[in-house]
Structure 1
């Protein structure tokens, strides 16, 4: 998928989601043939010509300035994550195609040290496609205790959190607000797709989820983007009952991220997490420090 096509699809999707009354555009009771705003209405709000904006949606004007992009972001009512995503897509449209094969992902030394530091807190290491590269015993018990603890040790056996959220019944039941969790997963994948347009494995994952889950396909078509840095979730764990956790994504730079789940001190949720910790079979975190030569991406 090219940067220009992603940019056009993003603009069209977000324009269709804005109602005229949301942005003060008068319709005078007329019958409208398109959902959301018309191109000329969005262009007027952004302060650009309708023909210029139309060319942007059609991928024929990849040289938009930062000022123009910010104006369009304002007209579309984009939040900060969405605004940055718009700039990323526009920048991709200015590049020549020709992407290198993505390097295999592995647990970096920095991510490994972070994981070790959270011995008493649920923690998992995720690659950019949400592949689980490693988890500590408590992270495994909280997020995917029904799976083999050693699954992340090989590239072929790694669980994928996006796949689990949409296709695994245990994970769906785990989140009290499953739609909210699902939208966060899709929004994050949208951000990654913009940053890595040549990642064939990522688009294979998107294709698989789109074909197997109508819910994923609908959310993907919305072009919503969301940076999953901090989020609060109520979880219904089959062993310890209901608990509320704060999931935080910690990045140590380029490479995988560490996701940790914490609870409010002294709360019933902390007590539930302690009980889960006591029930966990503490073993060694299984994850290769470097990818094996015969492991696929």
Structure 2
């Protein structure tokens, strides 16, 4: 039996809060229900209305929301996802929460390593920031331009090389992003998606706990239970060296390790943003240590960054 506050209890809480948050954002009219007279005591849909829309009993939905249905069928979960108007990412998250992989106790996941060929690929990308993210948004590797664009991850202790930590605990991030709040919220949502897949990861619990204590924005947004999967898009930045940039990003999963993501930024050819990236690359090359410098200092390209638990 799971102890109070244990892994199963935490997973049930996550499922309950996720479903509550999705119910709260949908009005009866949005769900296709006729409005009822009188004041509503809860925002969004009631449990009874979700059960009606999903075609299940109220008792069954209540038990599902409380994490007390260990074998919810795919048909039922699909019906609930449709009733709550979940997108594909939210649906996947619901399935991960409602049908978790069985693990008896929390345990450390095996270290992640970036294969040498992927490191070499990063080094060939000299005119665009690129990095490899792993579990919990850990930064496993980065090229020289990414370290100049964000921060020198390789100069940080291994456990601090993390994009969520950078976003919320590095003051430079708040001035780098033109819309820091939107970028930070998407970071929280991506971390929540990972939490649905690995709810018992002790390092995730440590990271979320620290960020919740140290940053009120993270604490508030984490409680909203939004999820997202990074794929591609566009963001605006203001870099302290080269000024304003608008960059496209692509998030690619290297073959052989779907838990690693290669993130690459690009600029429109001939644009001021492309010129700014080239200027930053030139500035970075000029300020780089000489080949004979101590490889343990500054922003070297040491391969020790390619391993994280």
Decide: shared fold, TM above 0.5.
yes
Conserved 8 A contact 1:127-1:257: yes
1:110 Cα deviation after fit: 4.9
SS of alignment partner, residue 145 of structure 2: helix
Measure the CA separation in 1 of the matches of 2:79 and 2:25.
Answer: 17
What is the aligned counterpart of 1:37 among 45, 58, 70?
45
1:19 Cα deviation after fit: 2.1
Conserved 8 A contact 1:107-1:288: no
Conserved 8 A contact 2:189-2:228: yes
Structure 1 pair 45/117, CA: closer, same or farther in 2 (3 Å)? Answer: farther
Tell me if 1:12 matches 2:14: no
SS of alignment partner, residue 229 of structure 2: coil
Conserved 8 A contact 1:14-1:222: no
Conserved 8 A contact 1:106-1:288: no
Q: Which residue of 2 aligns with 1:139?
A: 146
Structure 1 pair 110/23, CA: closer, same or farther in 2 (3 Å)? Answer: farther
Measure the CA separation in 2 of the matches of 1:97 and 1:76.
Answer: 31
TM-score computed with the length of structure 2 as normaliser: 0.86
SS of alignment partner, residue 216 of structure 1: helix
1:243 Cα deviation after fit: 0.6
Measure the CA separation in 2 of the matches of 1:134 and 1:75.
Answer: 41
Q: How many residues align?
A: 287
Measure the CA separation in 2 of the matches of 1:114 and 1:86.
Answer: 35
Tell me if 1:104 matches 2:120: no
1:169 Cα deviation after fit: 1.7
Cα-to-partner distance string for 1:112-145 (whole Å, 9 max, x where unaligned): 243234233211122211222221111111122x
SS of alignment partner, residue 242 of structure 1: strand
TM-score computed with the length of structure 1 as normaliser: 0.89
- Structure 2: unaligned runs, 5 residues or longer: 1-6, 290-299
Let me know the Cα RMSD of the aligned residues. Answer: 2.1
Q: Which residue of 2 aligns with 1:155?
A: 158
Measure the CA separation in 1 of the matches of 2:107 and 2:224.
Answer: 28
Cα-to-partner distance string for 1:63-107 (whole Å, 9 max, x where unaligned): 111111111111111111111111111221x73533442122332
- Structure 1: unaligned runs, 5 residues or longer: none
Q: Which residue of 2 aligns with 1:128?
A: 135
What is the aligned counterpart of 1:80 among 67, 88, 93?
88
SS of alignment partner, residue 30 of structure 1: coil
Conserved 8 A contact 1:46-1:74: yes
Tell me if 1:264 matches 2:271: no
